[in-house]
Chains A and B, each alone.
Chain A
Amino acid sequence: MKEFGYQRALDVSGALALLDADPDARFLGGGTNLVDLMKTGVERPGRLVDVRELPLDRIEPTEDGGLRIGATVTNSDLAAHPDVRRRYPALTQAVLAGASGQLRNMATVGGNLLQRTRCGYFADVTKPCNKRDPGSGCPAIEGEHHNHAILGASDHCVATHPSDLGVALTAFGAVVTYETADGPGELPLTDFYLPVGDTPHLETALPPGALITGVVLPPAPVAANSRYRKVRERASYAFAIGSIAAALDVRDGVVHEVRLAFGAVASRPWRAHAAEAALTGGPADAEAFAAAADAELAAARPLPHNGYKVTLMRNLVVAVLSELAEEAAR
């Protein structure tokens, strides 16, 4: 880890001024990913601007009945918040499925969205990686990739986004708010992450020097009947190999509204628009759920060793939607 400067910001404008859009500087939130990447040499900033104490640590209702979640709210406080647990239970479940109690106490909402892939090639500076070192190649494609992407990847990068929280936020149509020296801006989470293409090192659409100030959850009554299911290679404290955030509103046996997002299958949390469209207005049964999953997964381009993820995601869609349909019927 190289030497670096450290400054602590106390308000948003101060943070932006301290960062000064300096490409050698980084915002430091909980540090659970950035400090690790600095130790492994993946990140080598010359300066850190600590934003953990910014007054962005509140969860408040919006006027239209949604929720505004501050960027420095810790994962733990987000998961424990009564409004989140009541109105967006899958969001609480997603957060609690991630990392560990210790890390959730440290990690912030803003930092969670900006965390980097856990691809083992990316994290190891002795190996090539187009995301870390553009043009050096992607060894995963011909190497170890049993937990890599099946959707939206490219010949340049097949890494997945590791967030659980982001999957639930994506299902519920969250919007990221940010501030720059030129004023505020916002990005729906579905537009927040850039397509991989031939620039896997460019990950988000945030303008240079921007500070995430929070996430706005629009009102979503459907989210009250929601669930997050995560499959991983040990029972806890592991990244997903496939996960799903789902919400379902069934009226008279017909799907009135459905939300579906997938985790650990793409470079970003994957909103399953095709599956949602296939289901809406149709029957809420296992056959329809499977057909909807197939509609979404038709775009999958598995590698030799991760084709199981297509089956896994299909099975998860059917299982979780079936559970939600049953619970709604009770």
Chain B
Amino acid sequence: MSGASATPGRGRLALPPAMIAAPLVVIALMLGRHWLFLPEDLVLLIGAALLFAFGGFVLGRLVGLPDRWIVIAVPMLWLVVFFLVPFFVLGRISLAETMIARPPYSPLWERGDDGGIEIIASLENYRFLLSDALYVNAYLSSLKIAAISTLFALLIGYPIAYYIARSPEPRRSILLLLVILPFWTSFLLRVYAWIGFLRRDGVINNLLTWAGIIDEPLVMMQTDFAVYIGIVYTYLPFMILPLYANLVKLDGALLEAASDLGASPVTTFLTVTLPLSVPGIVAGSMLVFIPAIGEYVIPALLGGPDTLMIGRTLWDEFFSARDWPVASAVAIVMLVLVVLPIMWLQSVQNRQEAQE
């Protein structure tokens, strides 16, 4: 709060009004709770958000940060409290031993017999993950399923994105809306709907039998096939939107230039359109690949007992085996597996931006 104080024209966020406003908001929320019968969760959520805003603001002001830092400090604090701190908690549990206790893991330190403090932390859980083929296979299988799903989402999404990007304006907006439309229904409901299509006496089997194409119903439910369908279907919009955003920027004159220089439409696509859409492909693929690795609901609903995915292993470990330390280790490894591709994506994007 030293030199940067109260220069006219560069308005400082005033601390005293905020200090008055905060209790007023709290009182308003409490009154709202009692007289307007606002749901408790809502009051808590608004209260928590305001508390964070206020806390970040006061903290930033006390430390003497400039205002633009304070603006960032609020979401930063949110991220630290709800993402970074749980991550460390998880990391700490992953280093503990499982115990029949509450919570079901060993404390971080213990007073030894000689009165000194012993820190109980070992990488035993991580070694266990490596030694047991189940976990390694679950990771590999998750990566495989995510990769194959991403590939199919790309193969299906690219032509759609290309078509939308090349459509004339009024139709383009409608098509984009259609891509986003499924989000208006809950993801869970949409995955359930697929069961109706894929099951033994589902829409697809009935239709094919009626048309005389098959005699025996196809087994589609509880297979990896159903999981692929579910993942590709669910994440397709995340592939289409970044690809569309990229392809719509493509300068038509470049395509004409390629054609003018003797390139056939296929060559034009391979030498101009495709290389220039790489950022869109990377962004779309990451948006599909990353959540697909940790996918739990789709394999649980559509997959069979032998569909091995890490999200499911994680759930089993936490809730069936109640082995929190191993489950935490599984989660940490999965986070690392996901963070690495994100960092790669970031570096690709930065390079792309530096080029433009």
A binds B: no
Q: Which positions in B face A, CB cutoff 8 Å?
A: none
A residues neighboring B (CB under 8 Å): none
